[in-house]
Structure 1
Amino acid sequence: MAMQFLTAAWRLLAVLAVLWLLLVLAAWYFQRQLIYLPDRSDPPLPPGSGVTEVRYTTADGHELTGWFLPAAGEAARPYATVVVSNGNAGNRGDRLPLAKGLAARGYSVLLSDYRGYGGNPGRPTERGLLADLRAAASYAAGRDGVDPERLVYFGESLGSAVVAALAAERPPAALVLRSPFPELADVGQAHYWFLPVRPLLHDRFRTEEHLARYDGPTLVIAGERDEIIPTRLSRRLAEKHADTYREIAGAHHNDSALFSGTEFLDAIDAFLRDSLPD
């Protein structure tokens, strides 16, 4: 009887092991479908918003579309421009409230979109996203009325790793990281603790490694109740690499408080007032 029980137990363990291995293989094969969640539709230009559609080309030949919103008249900070690098989902249309809030506080804003997002051609990868942001920042720096010495990089979630990588190459006047993480494997391990996430990942997004090569002013801002990028990860990154850390009480990852909330936008404005050159 005992032998039969042991045999059944070993069979069960073997089945579970096979199922786990299949899950690991599926996670390895489909990982980019889990990481990148683009809205591929081309968002319509919002009427009466003052937004202009712009185009720029990456080094590997992708023509990308973004939106440019100039600073509001009397509030305008001379030539200060924020280049926005989005999170892993949606497209530039979802970030219009952020752009409007920054423009109302005196900053021009370029809402960039990655390859495969917002009607843009191509498929997203870590290398591709950096190439896309590199092209967006170059476009912004060369635009009439933009001072390249007063260029700000704003990275949201996954985009915080992208702006950190570009900041290590081409330092901005200031860097704003919204809901960042030390590296993507930390986020994956927090959600998929039963998988060997770190060795499986193709795209690493090592924010902390990039920030070690950037020494300019940095703001980290996060939601107190972020369930997607655990707040402790943003806090850990800020302790090592941020000049200023702000936490929005009660805010979850996708709450409007972290896109267009007054406390959120005022914290960015205060940081940039102190950080941008005269």
Structure 2
Amino acid sequence: MASRTSRLLLRMPKLKTTLLTVFLAAVVLSQNGCSSLFFFPDRTTYITPDRLNLAYEDIYLETADGETLHGWWLPAEGDALGTVYFLHGNAQNISSHLLNVAWLPAEGYNIFAIDYRGYGKSTGAPDIEGALHDSETGLRWLAQQPATANAPIFLLGQSLGGALGLTLASEWVQRNETPELNGVILDGTFSGFRGIAREKLSSFWLTWPLQAPLSWTIPDEYEGIDRIANISPVPVMIIHSVRDGIIPFHHGQALYEAADEPKQFLQTDTPHAATFIIPAYKNAVLEFLEGS
């Protein structure tokens, strides 16, 4: 597993980083490449669905390469209108991201959320290839469940989860996988792994010279801006805040411009990954789900 020092770079804009910390981060990154920039997991359980009066089931999935993934299945209250597959951001685990989707069962939607390898109760250590594999493992499990038969399936990804979900959805559509996705929602998502890594590295003078060589350690097939058009004709909703201090607003704009129709853009005004504290933004997402 990559060191905690290297993972600090995703949060550097908000940190008063000492010269020594930056120097150590630069050394670690020069040895390990950029993959560790995207993952900041922990194994603490912050909250469980029952604390929010939500029914749930623990789900454990085996990956083809021998890891065990943990997830939560949250059934809709009453008759289900569909299922939302939720891919969370880069920090902590599903228990700290639960509030982002805890409101959806009351609106009639099942929720399935997983932790990538190395997060929460999932085994292993995270990297880009592994997390992409894990996101597909979760969707394949979901596609086989009786509760999702003959009902819409949507993908909701936030931040890193949006980048993973974008890649997954583009491949799912291009391979004509079944069941078909009915809609994809990307909230606070960066336009490419290489691009955001280069931005973060260029923010500090000591890591500035490393931005090009280290970003090139990331395979170029994972750039969302090159893949998002392949999700069409599945509807895409891109959400991005003008006040996002982690993933700048221009990333959402770039993804929207690169996407093919049908597409929607929801400009918000909240901190990063805090979209659903505002009722109007929840309603906009519900309208997208109902219309897709």
- TM superposition score normalised by structure 1: 0.82
Aligned to 2:266, what secondary structure does the other structure show?
Answer: strand
Correspondent of 1:244 among 264, 280, 288: 264
**1:195 to partner: Cα distance:** 3.6
Alignment-derived partner of residue 63 in structure 1: 68
Sort the Cα spacing of 1:57 and 1:196 in 2 relative to 1 into closer, same or farther, 3 A.
same
Sort the Cα spacing of 1:70 and 1:236 in 2 relative to 1 into closer, same or farther, 3 A.
same
The answer as to 2:191 corresponding to 1:182 is yes
Aligned to 2:238, what secondary structure does the other structure show?
Answer: strand
The answer as to 2:41 corresponding to 1:27 is no
Matched residues in 1 for 2:151 and 2:129: separation? 25
Matched residues in 1 for 2:23 and 2:47: separation? 44
Identify the range of structure 1 (23-32 vs 156-165) with the bigger mean alpha-carbon deviation: 23-32
Aligned to 1:222, what secondary structure does the other structure show?
Answer: strand
Contact 1:97 1:260 in 2 (8 A): no
Aligned to 1:145, what secondary structure does the other structure show?
Answer: helix
Where does structure 2 lack aligned partners over 5 or more consecutive residues?
1-21, 174-180, 203-207
Q: Between the two proteins, what is the percent identity of the paired residues?
A: 28
The answer as to 2:216 corresponding to 1:199 is no
- TM superposition score normalised by structure 2: 0.78
Counterpart of 1:253, as a letter, is H
Provide the alpha-carbon RMSD of the alignment: 2.3
The answer as to 2:21 corresponding to 1:38 is no
Sort the Cα spacing of 1:121 and 1:203 in 2 relative to 1 into closer, same or farther, 3 A.
farther
Aligned to 1:213, what secondary structure does the other structure show?
Answer: helix
Matched residues in 2 for 1:166 and 1:254: separation? 20
Contact 1:154 1:163 in 2 (8 A): yes
Q: What does residue range 206-217 of structure 1 map to in structure 2 within 5 Å?
A: 206-215=223-232, 216-217=234-235
Contact 1:37 1:89 in 2 (8 A): yes
Contact 1:173 1:217 in 2 (8 A): yes
Alignment-derived partner of residue 242 in structure 2: 224
**1:65 to partner: Cα distance:** 0.9
Counterpart of 1:271, as a letter, is F
Matched residues in 1 for 2:279 and 2:121: separation? 30
Alignment-derived partner of residue 53 in structure 1: 58
The answer as to 2:291 corresponding to 1:274 is yes
Matched residues in 1 for 2:58 and 2:228: separation? 31
Identify the range of structure 1 (184-193 vs 155-164) with the bigger mean alpha-carbon deviation: 184-193
Contact 1:185 1:197 in 2 (8 A): no
Max radius of gyration: which structure?
1
**1:43 to partner: Cα distance:** 5.6
